[in-house]
Structure 1
C-alpha cells in the first residue's frame, strides 16, 4: 500500500512537471510568436491571444493607454463582433480597469463584482467573475494593461498564472518596443521621402497653390487621417481661408472662411499645437470645417514657426476613428516645419529668378533704345536726304517714302516694346493705361494659350482721361473674351493709339468669325453702348483671310488729363 501511494505521488509529481514543462514551452512559443512580427497592431493582437491561452482564460483584453491615463485602444479576445456591437463602446478606464491604471501592479480577484472599485458592466456585456490583470511596461513606462477574466473550469487564477502573465508582459514590453522602433523608422523614412519630394516640387517651379495641395495630401498620407485641411490668412485681416484640403469632404470645406474665433485662428496667432478628442463637439468649431463635415479626433498645428507662420494644418479623423499618437503628431509637426522652410527657400529663389528676368528686360530695353532705334532713325534721316535728289523720279520717290514710313512705324513699335518691357517690371499693380493694357493681355494669354501682339502708340497715359481708359479696358477685355470663347483664334493683334483728339482700339483675330446664325449678342451691344456714351463708334468687320476686326473709336475732350 505504501509503495502504491509513493508511486501515485511520483506520478502526480511527474504530471505536474510535465504540465509545467508544457506551460514553459507554451510560454516560449508565445514569446517567439509575439516577437516574430514588427507590425504593432499584429503584435498587440498576438500578445492578447497568447495571454488568454497561457492562463486558460475565456476572455482577454489589452488596453493601450493614451494621454491622461485614458484607454485609447482596446484589443479583445473571446468576444464576437455581435457581442462587441451590443456593448456599444470600449471601456474608458473606470472601475477595476481604472484601478489597474492608477496602481500598475498585478491584480488577482476571485470575484471582481465584489471589489469596492467595481462599477458593474454596461448593458449587453457578458457576465464575468474571476479576474487577473498585469501592466505591460515599455522602458519603465506603462504602455497598457492585460485584462483576463473567467478561468475555464470554474477555477480561480492562481499565483502560477500570475507569474506566467508577468513573464509574458515583460516579453511583450520588449516586442512592443521593437515594433515601435521599427514603426518609428518607417515613419521617419516616409517623412524624409515626403519632405524631399515636396522640396523638389517647390524648387522645380511648381505653382504655390499646387504646393499647398501637395502639403495637405502628403500630411494625410503620413498621418493616415481621414481629412487634412490647410488654412492660410487673409491679407490685412484676422480671418483664415481653407486653401487646400484632401480627404473625406474636402470639396465641402475647400474655400471655407474661418473667423477669428475658430481654433484654427487661435493656433495661427498662438503658434501652439492644439489637440481634441472630438472636433465637432468643440464650441469654437461651429464656424470651422467641423460645421461642414462631422469630425472626431484631430489636431491643429501652425505651418512654420515664429512670426513667419504661413498657415494652419488641421489633421482629423471621422467620428469613431482612432486618436493620433504623439509620435504621429510629432512627425507631422516636423514635416510642417520642413515644408514651411522649403516654401520660404523656393520663394526666395523665385524672387531671385524674377530679379534676373527684370535685369534682362532692362538690358534688352537699353539695347533696343541705344542701338536699334538710333540706327533706324539714322537710316530714316538718310533716306529723307535722298528724296530731294530723286524728286524728278516719282516712282523712286514714292518707294523711298514708303520705306521711310515703314521705318517710322518700326520705331514706334520698338518704343512700344521698350515701354512694355519696363511696365512689366512693375509688381505693385498700379500704373497708367499702358500698364493696365499689358495686364489684360497677359491675363488673356493664360486662357488663349498664346500671347496676343500688343501695339501702343501715343500718349495713352497722359492724354486719356480715367473714364475713357476704363471704357477702353472694358472693351479690350470683352473682345479678348469673345476671341477666346467663340473665335478659336491662334493669333490676335491689339492696337491702342491716340493722337490727342481720338482714342482708338483695334482688335484683329484670325479665328472663325461671327456666326450669322447667332442673333443674341449682348456683349457686342455693350461695346456699341460704350462707344455711343462717349460720342464714338464701334464697328465689326471680317478680317482677311479669316477672322474678325473690332474697332472702337471715341473722341477725347480737349481738357483731357491723366
Structure 2
C-alpha cells in the first residue's frame, strides 16, 4: 500500500466512527469510499433496510454523482470499471459498497480494493456501534414514556382519560400515525374506544373488528400482531384500514386480565417497524397494562373510602339529626293540642311544618350521600338532585328538594324526561329573576288530576320578584303550568307541572 494513501485511509477509518447516529455513519462510509478511490459514483445498499428502519433512504450516494443501482448479494459480478465490497456487522452481511467512474475511465486497482476492504471492516464496527447506540436511545425513550404513563395514571383521572394517556404516549414513542385502544364488545368482537391522531379521530372511534376475525383470535389470546400493510392485509376488516400501512397490535394484559389492545399504525407507505421497536412496544404495552390495573385498583380504593365516609355521614344524620328533629316535632304537636290560644297554635303549626320540611330535606341529603359519587345518577330522584345541584352555580345557593311517594318506581322514563326538562327551565328562569334567595323543588307522586287519574306533580317555588309571563310551562299532553302565590316561606313565584302516571 503506497505511503501517500495511508493518511487518507487513517482519516477515513477514524471518520466513519465519529458519529453514533446510524444514517450519518452510513453517509460517512459512502463519502469516504468515494474520496479514497477517486470514484465519481459511490452508493451503499443493504440486505434488509427494514432491519434498521432505513427503508426509503437507501441507496445512499456520494455527492459526486448519481447513485448506482443497488444489487442484491450474490448477483452477477460487477461490470468492468466498477467495484463492489461487502460490509459485515459481526457475522451478518449488512450490505455492499458500490463504486464506479474512476477518472479517465481508469480501472480500479488492487490497492483500491484493499483500501475499500479496510474501510468496510471499520464500517462494520461503526455500524454495530451505531446500532447499539440507537437501540439504547430507543430503550431510554420507551422506558421514560412508560414511567410517564404510570405517573399520569396513578395521579388521578377517569378510566377514559387513562386509556387516552396510553394511546397518546405510545403514538409519540412509536412515531405512529395513530394510537388506538380497542376493547371487547358484548358480541365478542373488539371496538375502538379511544384514538389519538394528528387529526380529528372522530371517525376512527367506534370502528369494530367483527367476531371470527383471525386477528381477533390472536388478540383475545394475548398475542401481539404485526402487520406490514394494514390496507392490504386480509386480516384487517375495519373501515379505516385503507389509511394505514405498517402496524403493531399489542395486548394490554396484566395478571391474566385482558384490558384491551393497543394498536399503533403508521401511514400508508411508512417505514416498517424494526425488531427493536416491536420488542420495546410490547414491553411498553405490558407496563401500561400493569399501570392501568394499579390505577383502577387505586381509584376503587378511593371510591370505597369516599363511599364509606359518605355512608358514615348519612348514618350520623339519620341517627342524630333526623331523630332529634322528629322528637322535637312530636313535642311541638303535643304542645299544640294542649294550647288554648289560636295565635299560639298557629305559631306551633308553622314550626311543626318547618320541622317536617327540614326532616324531608335531611332525608334527601342522606339519599344523595348514599349514591356513588363518580357515577351519573340512574334514578329519577338522583337526576332531580343532579339538576338542583347544577343550578346552585347560577343561583349562588342550592335549592331545597323534597320528594313525596315512591318517586323512583312510579314515574315512567318518558314522563321523567319531560319533568326534568321542565325543572331545568324553571331553575334557569329563577336564576334570572331578581331578588331570589330561596328556591324549593317538590316532586309529589301522590297527586291526582281533576278526572281522578293518578299524577306526578313538580312544583318549583322561589321568593324572587314575580314578573309577567315568567312562570309558564305545559310541554306535552296533560302538562299544566301556572303562576301562584308562594307558600312555606316562598312569597314570589310558583311553577307547577303535572302529568298522569
Interval containing the TM-score (normalised by the shorter chain) = 0.7 to 0.9
Inter-partner Cα distance in structure 2 for 1:514 and 1:300:
63
8 Å Cα contact 1:39-1:179 kept in structure 2: yes
Equivalents in 2 of 1:323, 1:160: separation in Å?
Answer: 39
TM-score between both structures, scaled by the size of structure 1: 0.74
Pick one of 27, 40, 45 that aligns with 1:45.
27
Deviations 1:349-375 (A, max 9, x none): 111111112211221121111111111
List per-residue Cα deviations over 1:488-509 (Å, max 9, x = no partner).
7699754212337552222468
Alignment gaps of 5+ in structure 2: 449-454
Q: Does the C-alpha gap of structure 1 residues 309 and 28 become closer, same or farther in structure 2, counting only changes over 3 Å?
A: farther
TM-score normalized by the length of structure 2? 0.82
> Could you tell me which residue of structure 1 aligns to residue 315 of structure 2?
366
Of 78, 83, 89 in structure 2, the residue corresponding to residue 131 of structure 1 is: 83
- Partners of 2:362 and 2:59 in 1: how far apart? 78
Q: Which moved further from structure 2: 330-339 or 470-479? A: 470-479
The Cα offsets for residues 413-469 of structure 1, whole Å up to 9 and x where unpaired, read as 222222333354897987xxxx3330464488679968964634333158x64xx43
Shift of 1:134: 0.9
User: Post-superposition shift, 1:159?
Assistant: 3.2
1:498 aligns with 2:473: no
Matches within 5 A, 1:59-458: 59-66=41-48, 72=55, 74-78=58-62, 96-99=71-74, 109-111=78-80, 130-137=82-89, 139-247=90-198, 250-260=201-211, 265-291=216-242, 293=243, 295-304=244-253, 307-388=256-337, 390-392=339-341, 394-424=342-372, 435-439=379-383, 441-442=385-386, 453=399, 455-458=401-404
Per-residue CA deviation, residues 184-236 of structure 1 (Å, 9 max, x unaligned), is 23222222222222122211212222222222221121122233322222245
Aligned positions of 1:524-543 closer than 5 A: 527-529=475-477, 531-532=478-479, 537-539=480-482
Asked if structure 1 preserves the Cα contact closer than 8 Å seen for 2:50 and 2:273, the reply is no
SS in 2 for 1:371: helix
Contact 1:44–1:176 (CA<8 Å) still a contact in 2? Answer: yes
Tell me which residue corresponds to 1:460: 406
Shift in CA distance, 514/473, structure 1 to aligned 2, threshold 3 Å: farther
The question of whether the paired residues in 2 share the 8 Å contact of 1:35 and 1:43 is answered with: yes
Q: Which runs of 5+ in 1 are unaligned?
A: 1-16, 101-106, 112-128, 557-562
Aligned residues: CA RMSD? 4.1
For residue 93 of structure 2, give the secondary structure of its aligned residue in structure 1.
strand
Q: Secondary structure at the match of 2:293?
A: helix
SS in 1 for 2:44: strand
Give the SS at the match of 2:127. Answer: helix
Partners in 2 of 1:428 and 1:516 — Cα distance?
A: 34
In structure 2, do the counterparts of structure 1 residues 251 and 366 end up closer, same or farther at CA, with 3 Å as the change threshold?
closer
Which residue of the other structure, out of 494, 498, 501, is the alignment partner of 1:553?
Answer: 498
Q: Paired residues, what number?
A: 484
Corresponding residue SS for 1:243: strand
Contact 1:110 1:157 in 2 (8 A): no
Q: Secondary structure at the match of 2:58?
A: strand
Aligned counterparts of 1:160 and 1:546: Cα–Cα separation in 2: 109
- Provide the rounded CA distance (Å) in 2 between the counterparts of 1:329 and 1:174: 24
Deviation track 1:40-74 (CA, whole Å, cap 9, x = no partner) reads: 22112112211222233232222234389998452
* Structure with greater proportional helix content: 1
Aligned equivalents of 1:546, 1:384: Cα separation in 2 = 25
1:390 and 1:545, CA in 2 relative to 1: closer, same or farther beyond 3 A?
A: closer
